[in-house]
Amino acid sequence: MSDITNRPSDSDRFRGSGGKYDRSSSKTKRQNGYNAKVKDKKLKAGLKRIDQQYKDAVSEAVATEYLLPESSGFLEAENEMEKTFKVKQDEIRGAVDSSTANKALDLKLREFGPYSLNYSRNGTHLLICGRKGHVASMDWRKGQLRAELNLNETCNAATYLQNEQFFAVAQKKYTFIYDHEGVELHRLKQHIEVKHMEFLPYHYLLATAGETGWLKYQDVTTGQLQAELRTKLGPTTAMAQNPWNAVINLGHSNGTVTMWAPNMPTPLARLLSARGPVTGVAVDRQGRYMATTGADKSMKIWDIRTFRQLHTIENLPTPGSGVTISDTGLLALSRGPHVTLWKDAFRSSKLARPFFGSSGQVERNTPYMTSIFPGNRVTNMQFVPFEDLLGVGHQDGVRNLIIPGAGEANYDALELNPFETAKQRQEQEVRTLLNKLPADSIALDPNVIGAVDKRASAARLNAKDLALVTDQKANESKTNQDIPQADPSVKGKNSGLRSFLRKKTRNVVDERKLRVNALLSKEKEARQRNEKVKRGEIEEGHTDLVSEALSRFG
């Protein structure tokens, strides 16, 4: 069985020199060209050596793939009559091994719903949050309850922090942080009426957004509020973090999606993604694609590296309520009681466009799987890390759907370990704290550090041009090139000359100032003259001979 699945990925893996391990395929080519230009022999040799080291690293990384112990799951139709989306959860549960079947958790909690759920980063723990105040943290694989809280007030969202030891709950007014036993540790009184929360694990930041329209970043290691950003777009309707660069994507009721970093008071980018409120946002793990759903019954898929729209699906039967993307690139859409999944939806080809429905041509991208919660509504979804499961929170509890091929099969134990011991967890926590990234380093390009700033003029220009530019800048005031042009078409107060004068408010009347004043009066005259022409008092080519004659004395 496994050889069938491995075939396509194998060919993909060995296509280029390094495939996915090659982190800058386009750049290396340029670098080689650059190498040829370098005159300094020592530098050239050094660059060559680094290039070679890089190539070796890539090929070695490729070679280690043979050592990966697990293979990812799949669900495949054996003939054309079979459709994968027709397979029911019960059938899957019957077909898979018992350990997986046991993981298809189904908690029926009718009293405090609707429920939202959150899995810890390594997938060992599950945090459920009932809207009416029921919060529980559990080791879901072992069936052990860690903490259960009945808060007796509205709970909008809950999320684990760096590991299962701490979690934050957005309650009616404030946001609180609890520890693994459910003891309240902090009340974050600056985070008011929060509806959505995201934890940025590498920066140790808790980002919250909600009714107030503010996006707030709290550093959970120092307790400082890192940034408060005003979206100016009303209540936030959806939120997702880009795991690749820690940029927060917010969906708003006017249909825009904005991307935020804590060190920028304005959004890094703004996309119009729906004609009504945005109801769901999701970003894939490598930060390449974003999927959004809107209340206008649309779903859109974006390439957020180029901000290009890949696919648009209009006229869903009912508006989608949320989207999420798995580690392997499955797209899951929730829509009322329905959950629909697509495979390969992020290719730019038209055939990859998620097709809603079962009929039609063969080459259409029909759903990979579907599931329905009859008489119910799905509130949120999250793929379980490193498992073939999709956690779904709905009105009557939570449920794990078995989605073969959804999870990353081979985890990296030094990054996230689903089988970690308490000791390993503690060591990991210390290690990540030591390597905590500063909040203001968040940017659209996560590799900006250590890269050459090509926009800097010193890097962009050669020595001669640079000298020319700096010379020009130095002599700008000497040649009076910085004085704006007289423009009679603008109103007096808006005149560029006036604002230039305002800037240079030194109480010194020098030659430059006189020149600007003269220009200003000339501008005024021209403007008045234009107005007169407009009113018809004088004609276009009229010359006032008297004033012209006198002007030589002025």
Partner 1 sequence: MKIKTISRSSDDYVPVKSTQESQLPRNLDPALHPFERAREYTKALNATKMERMFAKPFVGQLGYGHRDGVYTIAKNYNVLNKLATASADGVVKYWNMSTREEVCSFKAHYGLVHGLCVTPEQFSPNKNENYMLSCGDDRTVKLWSVNTDDFSSVKNEDELVSSGSGIKKTFHGDHAFLGIDHHRSKPHFVTGGAQINLWDVNRSRPSSNLSWGADNVSTVKFNQNETDILASAGSDNSVVLYDLRTNSPTQKFVQKMRTNAICWNPMEAYNFVVANEDHNAYYYDMRNLSRALHVFKDHVSAVMDVDFSPTGDEVVTGSYDKTIRIYQVKHGHSREIYHTKRMQHVFQVKYTMDSNYIVSGSDDGNVRLWRAKAWDRSSVKSTREKNKLEYDEKLKERYKNLPEIKRISRHRHVPKVIKKAGEIKQTEIDSLKRREKNERRTNKAMEFVPEREKQIVGFVHKYKNEKDSRDGSRHDK
Residues of the shown chain interacting with partner 1 in the complex, contacts defined by CB under 8 A: 1-2, 4-5, 20-21, 23, 61, 64, 68-78, 82, 84, 87, 91-92, 95-97, 99-100, 202, 243-246, 285-287, 327, 386-388, 402, 404, 407-419, 421, 424, 434-437, 441, 446-447, 449-450
What is the C-alpha to C-alpha distance for residues 81 and 270, in angstroms, rounded to an integer? 44
Specify the amino acid at residue 106: D
Nearest Cα residue to 177 out of 191, 295, 286: 191
In angstroms, what is the minimal distance from the CB of 95 to partner 1? 5
Contact 501, 520 (CB under 8 A): yes
Closest among 132, 157, 148, 154 to 180, alpha carbons compared: 148
What residue type is assigned to position 423 of the chain? K
Q: Output the smallest distance, CB 5 to partner 1, in A.
A: 7
**β-strand partners of 340:** 333, 370
Q: What is the rounded CA–CA span in Å between residue 535 and residue 513?
A: 33
Sign of CA dihedral 229, 230, 235, 236: negative
Ranges of beta strands (E only) in 131-211 are 134-139, 144-150, 155-160, 166-171, 175-179, 184-188, 194-200, 205-210
Nearer to partner 1, 6 or 154 (CB): 6
255 versus 287: smaller Cβ distance to partner 1:
287
Instruction: Say which residues have a Cβ less than 8 Å from residue 421's Cβ, sequence separation at least 6.
Output: none
Indicate the residue among 72 and 258 with the shorter CB distance to partner 1: 72
Distance of alpha carbon 124 from alpha carbon 420, whole angstroms: 9
Degrees, nearest 5: CA angle 465-466-469? 85
Q: Nearest approach, Cβ of 332 to partner 1 (angstroms)?
A: 16
Least gap, CB of 127 to partner 1 (angstroms)? 22
List of residues 6+ apart from 334 with CB closer than 8 A: 280, 320, 321, 322, 323, 378, 380, 381, 392
Residue closest to 399 by CA, chosen among 140, 135, 107: 107
CA atoms 456, 458, 461, 465: torsion sign: positive
115 or 368: whose CB is closer to partner 1? 368
CB of 77 to partner 1, least distance (A): 6
User: Smallest gap, in angstroms, from Cβ of residue 318 to partner 1?
Assistant: 28
Q: What is the dihedral of CA 23, 59, 121, 422, to 10 degrees?
A: -140
State phi, psi for 250 to the nearest 5 degrees: -115, 140
**Scanning the structure block, which residue is given the tokens 């908690």?**
107
Q: Is 292 helix (H, G, I), strand (E, B) or coil?
A: strand
Token pair of 409 as six digits: 């099969």
In the complex, the smallest distance separating the C-beta of residue 305 from partner 1, rounded to whole angstroms, is 14
What letter would DSSP give residue 321? -
Question: What would the two tokens of residue 59 be?
Answer: 């090929």
Q: Which is nearer to partner 1, 410 or 472 (CB)?
A: 410
When the beta carbons of 4 and 545 are compared against partner 1, the nearer one is 4
Q: Which is nearer to partner 1, 161 or 483 (CB)?
A: 161
> Rounded to the nearest whole angstrom, what is the least distance from the CB of residue 261 to partner 1 in the complex?
13
3-state secondary structure of 406: coil
Q: Which two tokens stand for residue 103?
A: 């993981």
C-alpha dihedral (185, 188, 192, 196), degrees to nearest 10: -70
Q: Tokens for 310, please give them.
A: 């890949």
| Least distance in angstroms from the C-beta of 94 to partner 1 | 10
Query: Measured from the CB of residue 398, what is the shortest distance to partner 1 in angstroms?
Result: 19
Based on CB atoms, which residue is closest to partner 1, 16 or 317? 16
Distance of alpha carbon 86 from alpha carbon 370, whole angstroms: 7
Task: Compare residues 270 and 285 and give the one whose CB is closer to partner 1.
Answer: 285
The nearer residue to partner 1, 423 or 493, going by C-beta atoms, is 423
Dig out the tokens for 448 from the structure: 């900006």
- Quickly count: other Cβ atoms within 10 Å of residue 403's Cβ: 26
Minimum CB distance to partner 1, residue 409 (Å): 5
**Residue 427 or residue 465: which is nearer to partner 1 going by CB?**
427
Query: Smallest distance from the beta carbon of 446 to partner 1, in angstroms?
Result: 5
- For residue 412, the minimal CB distance to partner 1 (Å) is 4
For partner 1, the closer of residues 87 and 483 by Cβ is: 87
What is the token pair recorded at 150?
Answer: 């009945």
Q: Which is nearer to partner 1, 409 or 490 (CB)?
A: 409
